Structures are given as C-alpha cells and as structure tokens.
Amino acid sequence: MAGRISSAPTITISETKNTSRPIVARSVPGSVGPVAMARTVARPEPRRRLTWPDGAPAVGLHLGVGQGLLKAARRSREIGARALQIFSDNPTAWRRRPEPPPEAPDFAAYCALEGIRTISIHASYLINLAGSAEPFASQSVAGLVHEVQRAPRYGASLVNTHIGSHRGMGREAGLRRIVSSVGSVLDATPDGVRLVLENSSGGGDLLGSRIEELAGILNGVGAHALAGRLAFCLDTAHLWGAGYDISTAEGAIGVLDRFEELIGIQRLAMVHLNDSRSPLDSRSDRHEHVGAGRIGPLGLGALLRDRRLQATTFVLETPGTDEGWDAVNLRRAYLLWGGATELPTLPPKAFKTTRRSTRTGTKPSG
C-alpha cells in the first residue's frame, strides 16, 4: 500500500551556526521550490557556557589582564571556566606595583560569587630560585615573597613559579639553592597561600624536569613541606619535553603513580594542561591546542578523568587566548573529561595565533 502523502507544509531552517537571522522557508503544496516567508522561529540561543558537575575538577585558563582583572573574570565565567590563572604584574620585569589594582577586591568577590573556584597567580618569569648570582638571587626571593604576600588580595590561594636554572653551578648546588630559596620565601609569608613549584622541560641548565628532583626539593624544605605550604604543578608540555611519554592513558597514569609514590597526590595542586608542538624528550617547551599536538587526547584525557585529581586545579596555557581560542580549548578539555578519545579537527587559522597572555620560555636571570 502506498504511503500517505501529507499536504501539510514543511519548514526548513538553515544550518548556519549562531546566526542571528535564521533563514526560514516553507514548502507550499503545488509550488516549485521553497517560498521565502517572514521569520517565524525564535532567534537561536548562543552556545551555552559549559556546566561542570560537582565531581569534576576545577578547569580554567591563564588569561591576560591587560584590559582589567574583571574582564578576565567575566570572560572566565562566560566560557564556563572554574579556575583562573593571571599575572599580577608585568611577568618580564623586576619592578612590582606597590599595591594591587583598585578593582582587585571586586575581582576576588566576583570570582567567589560566580563559582571560579581557584585563582592562581603566576610569578614573574625572571625568578630563578636556583641561581646564586647577585642581585638576581635576592631579587628572586623578594619577588616571590611579594607575590605570595599579595595573593590573598586577589582571592588567590596558589602562587605558581618556575623553579629555575643552576646557570653552570651544577645540579646538586642548584638544588641546594632552591631548597634555601623556597625556605626563605615560606618563612617570610603567611599561611593560607600555597607556593607551587612547576616542573621544567629540562632544557639547558633548567632544574625540576624529573619527579625525583621535585621530591628532593620537598624533602629538603622540611617543616614547611610538612605543613602543606609547598605544592607542585605538572605542566604536561614540560613533561613531554623532558621525556615522559604521556601520549597514552597508561603513560599518563604512570606519571601520576610515580608522583604519588614520591611526593603524594595531595601536593599536586595544579596541572598545566597543554599539548606540545615539540618532539618527545626534546627539552623544549612549545605549547599547542589541547589534543592537537604531539601528546594528543588520550593521555590528556586520562589525567582529567583520574579520580585522584578531583581536588587538583587544571589550567590551560594554550595559544590564542586573546583571539577566542580560550573557549575552544576549554570545550576540548570538557570533551576529554567526558570520555572523548578523539577531538574535532581545528582549522588552519588555529595554528597561526599569538600567545600574548601566556608567554613562556623566557630564560631566568642569575
């Protein structure tokens, strides 16, 4: 029996995303092709910001604050971030502003109100905790003390810093210097803010590329470490550059297992979730969009989903945050957290971005 043919009109809507004026056409029985009509459907809603369930870790980005702290906070909320990392001042200068910007209290209050769970301050790139040359060694300690002391006024609970380079003194001498510098910083700063040491890619004389070195620093610091003031950040691009193959779930979980064994997961305050443009074990650090580099989605997704890291903050330092790719990369992290093993292919223009707000690679002084 032939199917019944309906004479009811049908409606088609253009598939163009995020258009403010959808094309509406109606096929009218007896007419040839669709007939344009007045718009009869509501304007489509923009893509909703991400909503993370309670059991998910705090995931966000490093955003620039050149146009104000509140703008960065509002952008974080707009795209669904639950963490935010910022520079409190110029990251390539020693001079620090004497007071936080006037909007700092409003910034802290806004983040607390809007569910941005973690605020982290990234210290100056010039800081070198392993160096002994003056005046750079004293400036490094003083600069980091300044950041930790001011952090509560931004609502920040973490201050993240690169560890630094021994500058030819040798590995053991550099590690002893780091222990002394970290102790001095923690002695001069109040409780309530954790100092977070970030692993390196191991290029040149950089220290902290091996988990064993991080554990040695922790053991050397002693009492402050026992009090929980000292924590660590694992940058995935740095791990990759240092020779840790985290391109598979097994490889990524193996790194966490080793960290837990030597240091303790409770001291992994942050993960900088970056893909890499550099080859494995290249000792170089070139960040790439999440899942679009040499590491890929499998290892990064395994880290996001590991239940041991539910209290760890994930911060993306990916390209193009000032050009709209912040939202794209956050959504890619969201998909990986949700179980995705593949991610959409990015267009060529994604790989021609700038990184004004998340510059890396500046050599430490001293």
| Residue 13 and residue 101 share a domain | no
| Residue 317 and residue 264 share a domain | yes
Cα–Cα dist 126/136, whole Å? 9
Beta-sheet strands, E only, within the chain: 10-13, 24-27, 35-36, 58-62, 83-86, 118-122, 158-162, 194-198, 230-235, 268-272, 275-276, 287-288, 313-316
Burial class (CB in 10 A: 0-12, 13-18, 19+), 66: exposed
| Residue 62 and residue 40 share a domain | no
| Residue 116 and residue 158 share a domain | yes
Please give the tally of structural domains in the chain.
2
Contact 37, 288 (CB under 8 A): no
| Residue 229 and residue 267 share a domain | yes
Cα–Cα dist 215/263, whole Å? 6
Q: Tell me the per-residue pLDDT of 251-298, one tens digit each, with 9 for 90 and over.
A: 999 999 999 999 999 999 999 999 999 999 999 999 999 999 999 999
Average pLDDT of every residue of the chain: 86
* pLDDT score at 26: 34
Amino acid at site 335: L
| Domain encompassing residue 20 | 7-44
* pLDDT score at 30: 40
| Residue 173 and residue 24 share a domain | no
**122: CATH:** 3.20.20.150
Q: Tell me the per-residue pLDDT of 52-89, one tens digit each, with 9 for 90 and over.
A: 998 899 999 999 999 999 999 999 999 999 999 999 99
User: In sequence order, what are the residues at sequence separation of 6 or more whose Cβ sits closer than 8 angstroms to the Cβ of residue 124?
Assistant: 87, 89, 90, 91, 92, 93, 94, 143, 147
Low-confidence ranges of the chain (pLDDT < 50): 1-46, 356-365
DSSP, residue by residue, 2-59: PPPPP-S-EEEE---TT-SS--EEEE-TTSSS-EE----SPPPPPPPPP---TTSPEE
| Residue 105 and residue 249 share a domain | yes
Cα–Cα dist 155/344, whole Å? 35
Residue 360 forms part of a structural domain? no
| Residue 192 and residue 164 share a domain | yes
| Residue 33 and residue 63 share a domain | no
Cα–Cα dist 336/230, whole Å? 29
Say what the pTM is.
0.84
